[in-house]
Amino acid sequence: MGVQEDIRKLEEEIKNTQYNKATQKHIGKLKSKLAKLREESQNPSGSGGSSGPAYAIRKTGDATVAFVGFPSVGKSTLLNKLTNANSEVGAYAFTTLTIIPGLMEHKGAKIQVLDAPGIISGASFGRGRGSEVLAAVRNVDLIMVIVDVFSPEHIPVIERELSNVGIRLDQIPPEVKIAKRDRGGVAVNTTLPLSKIDEDTVVAILGEYKIHNADIVIRDDVDADQLIDSVMGNRSYIPTLVIINKIDLADQESLDIMEGAVHDRPHVFVSGHKEINLEELKDKIFETLGFIKLYLKPQGKKADMKDPLIILKNSTVRDVCNKLHRDFVKNFRYAQVWGPSAKHPGQRVGLDHVLGDGDILSIVVKKAGQ
């Protein structure tokens, strides 16, 4: 209980400290200590871990999405209706005790859907093996926060638990680069004015992580939390879709209250049991993931314009190589691109080139023996 008690004390001190120019450095140091303690609480050294099986899923398909919610909100029913999975369904808590995958095919995309065990408040600190469940969804492409129509108050609880294990919902990584060096102190370089923290706070936060000599380049107007995330370097940035289930049981007042809670973010109202709006849910998953189409052109041949490759937006040539064949990256020579992402037709690009919707791609690899 020692670490959790320290976490609670730090949270209380941060909450009770008025934020201003005079206190921002102090608050930045407190938040750094809090982040380190949370990390420690989830990965206690020498603990040997839980006695139960670890949750590990091999990603397949064009994208992986996961249901995250409290017990008995209908995750298993929705998984069974959307995919080929067979997740046990029961109207009582903790029916699902392992992470169960299913495959949903929609608009040419194959989407792996994970049904995770229900979490509870305090999950990020290990309650109900919650920290393991949450850690297992760190690498998905979309988190589907699922609640029943009568429980809008569960949404911020789920979001807080995800945040506590380093998952940043609906955010993009801040542009911060830190290059450690042997001497010379900390040199802070910014490409725009910082309105939320000053240079002293930046230096103090780095000092909490024993970084006393470094060049740091900041290209976003970051706050203390974003800088800490950049220093720790192990955060997951994942979009969300809120699914409101069991609408067949709700009156108009309950629907209106829930709509008010989610109106400013991607969401869909469904009933897994009555199969209401399930096609709309599939469309919303596809849309929120942001798929694009890529056409492959074998070297010296015409592009296949009839059967596009479905990939996630912001995918690179490296991502496509990994998707096509495990040896393509190792044997990669260069690629050529025609389309929106190319500066000119047939542009030669490397593995880190970001592809656009409708691009034509030709990959050239070393031949055997080269």
User: 331-351: per-residue pLDDT in tens?
Assistant: 999 999 999 999 999 999 999
pLDDT category of residue 369 using cuts at 50, 70 and 90: low
**φ/ψ (deg, to 5) at 337:** -130, 135
350, 334 in Cβ contact below 8 A?
yes
State how beta strands 360-365 and 347-349 pair: unpaired
pLDDT one-digit tens code per residue, 95-115: 445 788 889 999 889 999 998
For the cut 60, the answer to whether the pLDDT of residue 91 exceeds it is no
E strands, the chain, in order: 63-69, 100-106, 109-115, 142-148, 167-169, 176-180, 186-190, 214-218, 236-238, 240-245, 267-269, 291-296, 309-312, 332-338, 347-349, 360-365
> What's the burial of 283, exposed, middle or buried (CB within 10 Å: 0-12/13-18/19+)?
middle
pLDDT at site 58? 75
Mean pLDDT of the chain: 87
For the cut 70, the answer to whether the pLDDT of residue 94 exceeds it is no
pLDDT one-digit tens code per residue, 201-256: 999 999 999 999 999 999 999 999 999 999 999 899 999 999 999 999 999 999 99
Q: How far is Cα 33 from Cα 13, in angstroms, rounded to an integer?
A: 12
Lowest mean pLDDT among 52-66, 250-264, 305-319, 340-354: 52-66
303, 297 in Cβ contact below 8 A?
yes
Q: Cα dist. 207→219, 235, 270 in Å? A: 20, 20, 49
pLDDT category of residue 330 using cuts at 50, 70 and 90: very high
For the cut 80, the answer to whether the pLDDT of residue 288 exceeds it is yes
Q: b/e for 285-312, b at 16 or more Cβ within 10 A?
A: bbebbebbebbbbeeeeeeeeeebbbbb
166, 235 in Cβ contact below 8 A?
yes
Q: At what angle do helices 24-42 and 2-16 cross, to 10 degrees?
A: 160
Q: In what order do the strands lie in the sheet with 332-338?
A: 309-312, 291-296, 360-365, 332-338, 347-349
Q: How far is Cα 234 from Cα 228, in angstroms, rounded to an integer?
A: 10
State how beta strands 309-312 and 109-115 pair: unpaired
- State the sign of the Cα–Cα–Cα–Cα dihedral 179, 191, 200, 31: negative
Q: How far is Cα 296 from Cα 284, in angstroms, rounded to an integer?
A: 27
pLDDT at site 37? 87
Mean per-residue pLDDT for 47-76?
74
Q: b/e for 173-199, b at 16 or more Cβ within 10 A?
A: ebebebeeeeeeebebebeeebeebee
164, 126 in Cβ contact below 8 A?
no
pLDDT at site 52? 44
pLDDT at site 49? 41
Outline where 242-347 has alpha helix (H): 252-262, 278-289, 317-324
Q: How far is CA 272 from the centre of its chain?
A: 25
Token pair of 227, please? 């800088």
pLDDT category of residue 39 using cuts at 50, 70 and 90: confident
* pTM exceeding the 0.75 threshold for the entire prediction: yes
Mean per-residue pLDDT for 78-91?
73
pLDDT category of residue 93 using cuts at 50, 70 and 90: very low
Q: How far is Cα 159 from Cα 145, in angstroms, rounded to an integer?
A: 8
- What are the counts of helices (DSSP H) followed by strands (DSSP E) for the chain? 10, 16
Q: How far is Cα 292 from Cα 142, in angstroms, rounded to an integer?
A: 16
